[in-house]
Structure formats: C-alpha cells, structure tokens
Amino acid sequence: MKSGKYSAADVSQSDLHAMAYTDALTGLGNTYRLRDKVHQVAAERADDPAPFTIAIANLDGFKPINDLFGPEAGDEILCQVAYRLKACIPDGAMVTRHGGDEFAFLFPLVFERNGAEKMGQMLREVLSAPFDLGDRNVRLSASFGFAIYPFAGEEFADLLKSADTALYRSKRRGRGQITVYSQEIAQEMKRATHLEQALRNAIIANEVDVHFQPIVRLKDDMIVGFEALARWCDADLGYVSPAVFVPLAEERGFIDALSETLLRKAAEAALSWPKELFLSFNLSSAQLMDPKTSLTTLAILNRVGLDPRRLELEITETAVMTDAETAQKIIAELRGAGVRISLDDFGTGQSSLGRLRDFTFDKVKIDRAFVSRISDDRVSEHIIKAIVAMCDGLDLEVVAEGIEDFSEALKLKALGCGMGQGYFYGKPADAVTTMRFLSERYLRVEPEAAIA
C-alpha cells in the first residue's frame, strides 16, 4: 500500500491535514491523531474525570522476519496487522501506527487493570494467527504496555511514556507479555536503569571480577579445570547476583562488553595454572546470535596468549535455539580453532536429543536439578544413568553440576559419570585464592576440602 504523488493544485487544506494525521503505509492514524483524540476524550470528561486507557503494542521478532523476507514482505505484514487490529477493537476505540513495528491504541471504555489485561489478551490472540505472504505463512507474537488515565499521567506525553515503560517491562519478561503501568513497575524500571548505569561504569573501571569453581575427575577427585563465574560487588549497591546483572547486560545490549572483559580476565588467570587444566566459560544467547563472536573470542585468546585448546565454552539449549543457523556457524568456527563446546543444563530443554543430533558438542553438563535429587529420587537416578550411557555411546564427556555432599558424589561415581563440580568439591573463589590453592594442593581435592 503506497501513497500516491500529488501536485499542489490537487491537494486541498483538508487533504494536507488528513495526510499529516495518517500513516502512509497502513492507512491508520498516526501519533498526532492519537494525541488529538486523547485530548478530546480528556476534555469531554474534565468535569467528571473518568478513566480511559491507552496502549502500545510491539511485534516480537519482526526484525528477523523483515531481514529474512525483505522490506516488502515486512510492509505486507504491517498492513495485515493494521487490518486485524482495526477490525477487532471495540466501537469508540482507536488504533494508530506508532512507528516501525509498533501500534498504539485508545480505549475510552477500559477503566481499570483487569479490563486492560483482558483487552491485551484479546489483541494478542488476534495477532497469533499466521500471516499470509503468498507462498509462505509466518507467525508473530506481540507484547503490550497499557497506561490508565489519570493514574499513569494526566498529559498525553506522560501517558505515552507510562505505556512505553509498561511495554518495556513486557519485553523484558519475554514474548507475548502484557503489562499495565503502576508506580511499582515505574520504581522497578528506575532501579533497573540505575543498576544498568552502575554496571556499565563497573565494566569501564574493570571492577567486575571473575571467580573460579573447580571441575574434578570423579574417579580420583583430581581437578581437571575451572569454570569462570562473574562476580560484582558495587560500592553503593553491595553484592549483585550474576543472575541479575548478566541478564540485564544481555537485555540492554552490552553483554559483549561484559563478556569480553570477563573472558580476558579469566584467560589471564588461566595462564598461571598447570597447562593440563582447562578454562570453562559461558556464552550468552545474544553472543550465539552475533556472527562476530568466534572472531572476537579467538582474538582475546590470542592477545592474552592462551591456547584455544584449553578453552571450553558452555552454551545452553535455549541459546542455541534462538538462532540455530548462526549458532551452528559460530560453534563450527570455534571448534575448528580447537575450542571445545559444552552443552550446559542438559535435560531441562524441550529437545535436547535433537540438539545433540544437529550440533557437534564435546561435553554435556547434567543440570543440578537432577543431581540434587539423585540420592532420594529413583527417576532422577535413572535419568542420569541414561544420560551417561548415551553420552558414552556418542563419545561425549559428562559433567554433573551442583554436587553438594558425599552421597551424591558416591552415586555419580557408581553411575560412571566422568566429571563433577559443586560446593562439595569447592566454592567459587577469586583468581588469587584459586592460584594459592593450586600451589598448595596441586591438582588433588580431598573430599569436603572446598576452596574457601
């Protein structure tokens, strides 16, 4: 759907006004039209203010589809989205194109959170059906942010900002999420922004640290390597869990800077270890979608002087599934340089066996969810036994994660599991403590003798 060309004589003042308030691609109104309508509804209710709701919807995963099928296909999908939304909204409501792959709404008769959430669920369902591109169908989901007048703002700009804040929280939580703005959400987002800035500054100041947890050969309790784990203690915020700051870095788009800093530090520390010990390091899903990851990783190893054959990269099944084609290329390039690849958290994904068939791995790490129940749950024991047998047949090494006590270690040894890690063998420790431990005890860990 394309706008035509007009001469000055053909276009009246009213035509110019209509064009200024209309999205040329979809024929919907634009932000100016939405703004005027919101002002009108607010003015009509000035004497007896009654709530109304605005919302913003963002298409999840639209950019990859646009990149894959081309901009014309992307425009066609946007037009189909516009048609569906216009057809399904209630009488008196309005849908506009907010720009790009976002659409904005006004719902004069949605007064409270429950009504907004139900509206979001209905719109989400409407957009979940396949979109027709002639010789193929594609599926999309959408995330939603709602803001209710006057609680989320009395001015249009404030309402729009609140809806955008709610949408951002929805996108943080995953695909197809619905969020209604509240003061609690605003505070949560404010804290996240503060945390983001502190983390960015910490990366620049080289204040994010790496700790190392030993990985042992179970048959004789000998250390064979260490897993690098991110640690951050901020002067104002105190200790911040990596479960908080690593996903934040990934979500806000600076996971590369964080990961490169951590890998450099970990590789520098590993240079001082005995050469037979390997370094295990985690790659994020964002890195497995970036074609430059293999080049960047190998460049860091080259600068530090660490043999790529001593590096083992841990990836999760979820990360692999995000962009399988790119991930496969990255894995092949890294393995070609001698880096080993480990499939982390094995057993918790939806198609782990398929991943083992489609990708080339060197090692599998059994998720701690199975290990923690091995002593008192026959099902977990049988699952681990089956994984060990399968990996043995596929010539894959196996590591059991989260070993906490002697009984778990004993059980895993009896089942033939090759390697393990967990607090029973050692807690994560900084580079200096790890080096001191290696110097004093070299390669052997006595049961219950953890790295402090």
Q: In this predicted structure, what is the pLDDT of residue 432?
A: 95
Note whether residue 5 is domain-resident.
no
208 burial (CB, 10 Å; 0-12 / 13-18 / 19+) is buried
Q: How far is CA 19 from the centre of its chain?
A: 39
How far is Cα 175 from Cα 249, in angstroms, rounded to an integer?
A: 18
Q: In this predicted structure, what is the pLDDT of residue 198?
A: 96
Residue 189: pLDDT band (50, 70, 90) is confident
Query: Does residue 107 register a pLDDT over 70?
Result: yes
Q: Are residues 73 and 216 in the same domain?
A: no
Average pLDDT over residues 75-81: 94
Note whether residue 1 is domain-resident.
no
Query: Does residue 71 register a pLDDT over 90?
Result: no
pLDDT in tens, 303-353: 999 999 999 999 987 777 767 788 889 999 999 999 999 998 786 654 456
Which CATH number characterizes residue 109's domain?
3.30.70.270
pLDDT in tens, 193-208: 899 999 999 999 999 9
Q: Model-level pTM?
A: 0.72
How distant, in Å, are the alpha carbons of 111, 129, 133, 383 from that of 142?
22, 11, 18, 37
Q: In this predicted structure, what is the pLDDT of residue 212?
A: 98
Q: Are residues 138 and 287 in the same domain?
A: no
Average pLDDT, the chain: 88
Q: Are residues 112 and 245 in the same domain?
A: no
Specify the amino acid at residue 413. Answer: K
Q: In this predicted structure, what is the pLDDT of residue 347?
A: 65
Note whether residue 186 is domain-resident.
no
pLDDT exceeding 90 applies to what percent of the chain? 64
Q: In this predicted structure, what is the pLDDT of residue 426?
A: 93
Q: In this predicted structure, what is the pLDDT of residue 357?
A: 67
Residue 164: pLDDT band (50, 70, 90) is very high
Q: Are residues 147 and 230 in the same domain?
A: no
Sign of CA dihedral 434, 436, 438, 441: negative
pLDDT exceeding 70 applies to what percent of the chain? 90
Q: Are residues 385 and 249 in the same domain?
A: yes
Q: Are residues 377 and 302 in the same domain?
A: yes
Which CATH number characterizes residue 305's domain?
3.20.20.450
Q: In this predicted structure, what is the pLDDT of residue 348?
A: 64
Query: Does residue 270 register a pLDDT over 90?
Result: yes
Average pLDDT over residues 237-256: 91
Domain count, the chain: 2
Query: Does residue 282 register a pLDDT over 50?
Result: yes
Q: Are residues 274 and 164 in the same domain?
A: no
Q: In this predicted structure, what is the pLDDT of residue 99?
A: 87
Query: Does residue 6 register a pLDDT over 60?
Result: no
- The boundaries of the domain holding residue 316 are 192-441
Sign of CA dihedral 168, 173, 177, 182: negative
* Residue 371 near residue 384, CB atoms below 8 Å: yes
Query: Does residue 446 register a pLDDT over 60?
Result: no
Q: In the numeric block, which tokens belong to residue 336?
A: 């070609």
pLDDT in tens, 347-406: 665 445 666 666 788 999 988 888 888 878 888 888 899 989 988 888 899 999 999 999
Q: In this predicted structure, what is the pLDDT of residue 365?
A: 92
Average pLDDT over residues 224-232: 97
Contacts of residue 55, Cβ cutoff 8 Å, sequence gap at least 6: 104, 105, 107, 116, 119, 120, 144, 145, 146, 147, 163
What stretches of 174-256 adopt beta strand conformation (E)? 178-180, 209-217, 222-234, 238-240
Q: Are residues 396 and 300 in the same domain?
A: yes
264 burial (CB, 10 Å; 0-12 / 13-18 / 19+) is middle
Q: Are residues 319 and 371 in the same domain?
A: yes
Residue 2: pLDDT band (50, 70, 90) is very low
